[in-house]
Chain A
């Protein structure tokens, strides 16, 4: 039997009269790399915020690991094993790189020594071991994205929600991040991936959902999505980078 780790059921989010997400449903299987794409303003980040507890959904259910999580706070969602990164990176600027990752690690341990060990381990995974004592605010954007990744990995998540983790990176940096994501999946984590870079999405995702104006436009494998005429019209019409 296929195990659904996350089930989104008829989720809508209204801001006043504005419908940001409208009746979206999909399921994510364990160990999948799941892509969430769509043009700007399609509601991808809003959907992430609904899933992770930052804005409660107006209607619909979010079921994670067989628990309904719609009404939980972000920290409670994190404790259940779902962690997210931010489209606009949010480093804890005056703390060091190591301390940033330790903050993540404290969600699984109360001991400073253990948190430091976990943090060192995750910094190695993303290749930031040489930067541990640098202040997080001083890193260039590529390294800040890696830091975000290390920090959420330190919370030992079952599921990772990555919001444009490759945004603003060059090809080499993007490839490094994609390699890291593949290695994370190998260790057993499930990943949802918001991305604009179509090449990155199609090369790494098992399944893709396309959002447009808050609604689900299509769902399928990368091959199905890139050949879907609706998707091409809405999103790919203007070339590879919409």
Chain B
């Protein structure tokens, strides 16, 4: 009961948030990033957290969704939802090829191969002509029903919906045969195998679910941002951010990725907008024209990757189970 009330409260807040903060495109934009990162990290968590197979190349599935959708839209002007479905097909094909080859091996091979596959996808997209190459793809206009797609609001609810679906799938999986099998594989592959678990089948199943959800998010992002290139949707940096969000929140837990996104996305935004530098200057602690002030103004905004790194190291040292691990009672 407590749990249902908790979820209902969160859902109510999430649904009413745009009404409360009004139409401020800036804040809605941050919230969309937040929901997207929470959903991406949750989708990754099915494979990385529950099955223990760390993918360092989830950008490939995100990019597959974004590119497939935007290419089909610009060329044939199909229904965006149909384009999204085609994105899932493309991402699933990439996932199946990767998984069926690499999951025969144990240990860290999947992690390594996932980087390789993502780079192959990125370089292919960069060099093909139909993908727009280095110029990327610009989408001029999207029509879906009579939604106002120039507003950010539909995308806020779109991301929220995908996040809710991803969390629902995770919640269902972890109490099902598949979920227990994935955790068994994570804990001990030999033991799992001797208990009747077809290891490669279940790893592929987890990868497929994870890749499909990631692809949907990629499509949604493409429709939202309307301009994509390889550095925006296929970059290794994106894959790493997805993992860090899960690690900092709590790998292999339902809410960990959401907590991670709640912490990291606003933090990244504050750093990017030089919130901390401005705060020091406005508080009169540092003069804007002094050497330190100039340094902060010039450099702190670019430091968010550095700060991510520091937080991750601290997390691994002091919170190996993520922020959520703090609140979990020991059994």
Contact = CB atoms under 8 A, between A and B. Distances in A.
B174 to A, nearest CB: 10
Interface of A: 52, 54, 73-76, 78-79, 83-84, 86, 90-96, 99, 102-104, 106-107, 110, 112, 115, 133-135, 138, 151-152, 155
Contacts of A134: 331
Given A75-B196, A133-B331, A54 B181 contact: no
A92 B181 CA distance: 11
B324 to A, nearest CB: 14
B184 interface: yes
Given A102-B180, A103-B184, A112-B176, A96 B194 contact: no
Interface string B184-200: 10011011111111110
A103 B193 contact: no
Given A75-B193, A92-B188, A138 B181 contact: no
Interface string B170-186: 00000111001101100
A107 to B, nearest CB: 3
19 contacts: A74-B193, A74-B194, A75-B193, A78-B193, A78-B194, A84-B194, A86-B191, A92-B183, A94-B252, A95-B183, A95-B187, A103-B183, A103-B184, A103-B192, A106-B177, A115-B180, A134-B331, A138-B331, A155-B195
Dominant SS among interface residues on chain B: helix
Interface residues of B, number: 21
- Across the A-B interface, the 10 shortest Cβ-Cβ residue pairs: A107-B196, A90-B191, A78-B196, A92-B187, A74-B193, A135-B331, A90-B188, A106-B177, A103-B184, A75-B198
Given A86-B190, A90-B190, A115-B177, A107 B183 contact: no
A74 to B, nearest CB: 4
Contacts of A107: 195-197
Contacts of B180: 95, 99, 102-103, 106, 112, 115
A50 to B, nearest CB: 14
Interface in B129-143: none
Interface of B: 175-177, 180-181, 183-184, 187-188, 190-199, 252, 331
A75 B191 contact: no
Nearest to A136: B187
A165 to B, nearest CB: 14
A49 to B, nearest CB: 10
A73 B184 CA distance: 17
A37 B187 CA distance: 30
A94 B180 CA distance: 11
A54 B190 CA distance: 8
Contact of A103 (B175, B181, B252, B331): B181
B288 to A, nearest CB: 51
Looking at B177, B188, B198, B252, which has the most chain A CB atoms within 10 Å of its CB? B177
B38 to A, nearest CB: 23
A73 B104 CA distance: 12
Contacts of A90: 188, 190-191
B331 A112 contact: no
A91 B331 CA distance: 16
Contacts of B187: 91-95
A134 B194 CA distance: 23
Looking at B183, B187, B196, which has the most chain A CB atoms within 10 Å of its CB? B196
A83 B188 contact: no
A211 B198 CA distance: 32
B194 A112 contact: no
A200 to B, nearest CB: 23
A52 B184 CA distance: 19
Nearest to A104: B195
Contacts of A86: 190-191, 194
A92 B184 contact: yes
Given A54-B190, A92-B184, A103-B192, 18 more contacts: A54-B194, A73-B198, A74-B194, A75-B196, A75-B197, A75-B199, A76-B198, A78-B193, A78-B195, A78-B196, A90-B191, A91-B187, A92-B188, A94-B187, A104-B196, A110-B177, A115-B180, A135-B331
Nearest to B184: A103
Nearest to B202: A75
Contacts of B191: 86, 90-92
A238 to B, nearest CB: 32
A78 B192 CA distance: 11
A75 B191 CA distance: 10
Contacts of A110: 177
B179 to A, nearest CB: 9
Contacts of A95: 180, 183-184, 187
Nearest to A103: B184
Contacts of A133: 331
Contacts of B184: 92, 95, 103
